[in-house]
Amino acid sequence: MIQIIKEDGNNKLIYNNGNIILDLNGKKRNIGYITGKKNDWTLVLTRNRKDHMMRVNNSYGICYDLLVHCRQAGIEKLKIVDDIEEFNVPLNYAIDKGKFMHFLKQGFEKQLFIELPDLRIWN
């Protein structure tokens, strides 16, 4: 099943058979997937610390619209897996604790950044 979660001009956030795909001006990338059983779903995001860590504040950025959509769909868990650690974070905690950044000029979506010390509470 393919579902457009959010569409903003040429940018789309797409759910496709469990995979979450971000389409920024025609450039598609898989940013995560949903796993689990009904009423116990988990949003899983894989990161590489060298490439994805925001160095200024040691945080990972996550598409805000994706988090909100998952919460509305009843998903309560977020798992972030990087090349060093794994974090199992309540979705509401991530939304409440994160700080907004929006890189409009670069063409990126609104992102919520969660700092590593806040994630480490949940590993």
Mean of all residue pLDDT scores within the chain: 88
Task: Give pTM, 2 decimals.
Answer: 0.86
pLDDT in tens, 113-122: 999 999 999 9
The DSSP output letter for 38 is T
Run of H or E including 52: helix 49-52
In 3-state terms, the chain is what percent helix, strand and coil (to 5)? 20, 50, 30
| pLDDT recorded at residue 63 | 86
- Written as six digits, the tokens of 118 are 């806040």
CA 24/CA 98 separation, integer angstroms: 23
Residue with tokens 């199992």: 88
Q: Where are the domains of the chain?
A: 32-120
Q: Tell me the per-residue pLDDT of 8-44, one tens digit each, with 9 for 90 and over.
A: 777 788 888 889 998 888 889 898 999 998 889 999 9
d(CA 52, CA 104): 18
